[in-house]
Amino acid sequence: MKTRTADIAVIGGGAAGLTAAARCAAAGKKTLLIERLSRPGGVLQQCIHSGFGIHRFNEELTGPEYAHRVLTQAEEAGAEILLNATVMQIDGTGEVKTLTVYSRDEGVLLIRARAVILAMGCRERCRGNLGIPGERTAGIFNAGLAQKLINEQGLLPGTRAVIAGSGDIGLIMARRLSWCGVKVACVIEIMPYPAGLSRNIAQCLEDFDIPLLLSHTLTGIYGKKRVEYVTIAPLVNGVPDLAQEKKITCDTILFSVGLVPENELSRACGIELDPVTNGPRVDSSLMTNIPGIFSCGNVLHVHDLVDFVSDEADRAADSAVAWAAGERPGEAAITVKAGKNLRYTVPHRAEAGKTNHFYMRASTVMDKAELRVTSPEGRIIFSKKLRYVKPAEMISAAFPCPEESTYTFTLENC
């Protein structure tokens, strides 16, 4: 077994990990990035459509182009990237952290680092997780796998598809399938509003006249050798109305029903998770409850745009760089809570006396709203007007934080 040392170890080579590694290395820290697949870039590599990077690079890039940019930045800054290497365990106790890594090239590696950045991303929730009834034949895919089959291997997952869930990956896949000659029968969404961005409804569904059935649920998947049909039903008062159940003929069903941060590794090393985000609980330096272990990107909470992933990765990197240099952040004594109309806020604790960045997600659709941050006494600490509010779109806020025991974030109608 070999031992390697670094100032900062970054786990995961997607957008978050590459951005963080680039920034750590640029700050002069010896940075080691561990990526389990054979190429860096994460899910960006299969997202061949454009629409990435408008905020960060001020131009519209495809996924591979965005990956290429952040990878080049990381390489030029001198970050070392280990490919085909999986972190099996993190020992987070003590000043120096130890990662046990299984690598195809180097066998078992022990990596010792002063700071660790978790950037493992997320996985797709699948048919099995939802317990959708029916058969387990060929033709049942996560949207992401179907995307990978087409965009990396030129393989078609079917000839006539139904897409369950209107998340962005599902919408993007509706267009991709249509472009590749695969008929998309419909997209069904359990909520009364779409889960993906409005522009994707426009350019991925409306362009192809693909029906979007809101407030509908998949009630079964049937077929012997391969999927032959699915059954769907409208939801009435939150319950499928089986009297209105109908069959839709298809040989393929794609699931785009939500993403789950991949925190099994974090959990195993004692990192506390937020049951709403499924990501670590962090302070405003994006540090977890284990000192010296930071988190960013989709492993922390699921983002809508890669640009925000990279912004967050920059902040985690800055914190890790400071930590590795021996600086210790001030106490994050402010408890941050998600109140009315919000599902969650990240970070979970804020530090008084400086500007803190917050990301949050609404729990409902609102036309015009005000984001309000209040103290326990009801004093408004910060407010911001928002034109549209949707659960699909992340809300961000940054403001100097005065001392308080608790901040409660709410969305008010206005």
Partner 1 sequence: MEKFKKICINCPAGCHLEIEKEGDAITVRGNSCPRGIAYARQEVTDPRRVVTAVVAADAPERLFIPVKTTAPVPMAEIPELLKKLFSMRVALPVHPGDVLLKDHPSTEITVVATGTGK
Partner 2 sequence: MSIIYDAAIIGGGVCGAAAAYRLSRYDVKTILLEKESDVSFGVSKANSGIVHGGFHYSAQRTLKGRLEIRGNLMYDQWHQELDFAFKRCGILIAAFKPEQMEEIRRLYEQGVENNVPGIELCTRERMLALEPKLSETVCGGLHAPGGGVVEPYSLVFSLAEAAQLNGVELKTRFKTVSAVNTGDYWEIGSESGEKVQARYVINAAGLFADEVSKVFGGEEFVISPRKGEEYLLDRLSPARPEKVIFPVPDEHTKGVLVIPTAGGTTMIGPTAQITGDKTDNATTDLNKKSIFALAKNMVSGVSEKDLITSFSGSRPVIEGKEDFLIQISDKAPRFIQCAGIQSPGLTSAPAIAELLCQLLQEAGLFLQEKTTPFILPEKVPAIREVTAEEADKLFQKDPAWTHIICRCEKVSEAEIRLAIRKGHTTLDGVKLATRAGMGRCQSGFCSLEIMKLIAEETGTPLAEIIKRESAGTIVTGCLGGEKK
Q: Which residues bind partner 1 (CB under 8 A)?
A: 39, 45, 48-51, 54, 60-65, 67-68, 150-154, 179-180, 197-199, 201-203, 207, 304-305, 393
Name the one range near partner 2 by CB under 8 A: 66-74, 105-113, 298-306, 334-342: 105-113
CA angle 61, 189, 386 (to 5 degrees): 60
CA distance 277 to 344: 7
CB 290 within 8 A of CB 94: no
DSSP state of 145: H
Q: What angle do CA 243, 249, 251 make, to 5 degrees?
A: 135
Task: Pick one of partner 1, partner 2, none as the site partner of residue 139 (Cβ within 5 to 8 A by kind).
Answer: partner 2
135 binds, among partner 2, partner 1, none (CB under 5 to 8 A by kind): partner 2
Query: How near is the Cβ of 387 to partner 2 at its closest, in Å?
Result: 35
CA dihedral angle for residue 375, residue 380, residue 384, residue 388, rounded to 10 degrees: 70
Q: Are 255 and 268 in contact (CB under 8 A)?
A: no
Tell me, residue by residue from 280 to 299, as one string, x for binding to partner 2 by CB under 8 A and - for no binding.
--------------------
- Interface positions, 340-369, toward partner 2 (CB under 8 A): none
Binding partner of residue 108 among partner 2, partner 1, none, CB cut-off 5 to 8 Å per kind: partner 2
3-state SS class at 84: coil
- Decide which of partner 1, partner 2, none touches 335; Cβ closer than 5 to 8 Å per partner kind: none
CB 19 within 8 Å of CB 314? yes
Nearest distance from residue 109's CB to partner 2, in Å? 9
The site partner of 138 among partner 1, partner 2, none (C-beta below 5 to 8 Å per kind) is partner 2
Among 13, 51, 158, 167, binds partner 2 (CB under 8 A): 158
Our finding on whether 237 is near partner 2 (CB under 8 A) is no
**414 part of the interface to partner 2, by CB under 8 A:** no
- Is the CB of 75 or the CB of 228 nearer to partner 2? 228
Only one residue has tokens 């009834």, namely 133
Residue 216 C-alpha from the chain's centroid: 25
134 binds, among partner 1, partner 2, none (CB under 5 to 8 A by kind): partner 2
- For partner 2, the closer CB: 126 or 322: 126
CA within 13 Å, CB half, 1 = 9
Identified binder of partner 2 from the candidate list 94, 107, 330, 376, rule CB under 8 A: 107
Q: How far is the CB of 198 from partner 2 (least distance, A)?
A: 27
Q: Return phi, psi of residue 392, to 5°.
A: -70, -20
Burial of 221 (0-12, 13-18, 19+ CB in 10 A): buried
Among residues 137 and 364, whose Cβ is nearest to partner 1? 364
Q: Which of 90, 78, 92 is nearest to 31 (CA)?
A: 78
CB 156 within 8 A of CB 267: no
Of 254, 307, 301, whose CA–CA distance to 274 is shortest?
301
The footprint of partner 2 (CB under 8 A) covers 1, 36, 84, 86, 88, 100, 102-108, 110, 123-124, 126-131, 133-139, 142, 144-145, 148-150, 152-159, 180-181, 219-220, 222, 224-226, 251-252, 262, 264, 267
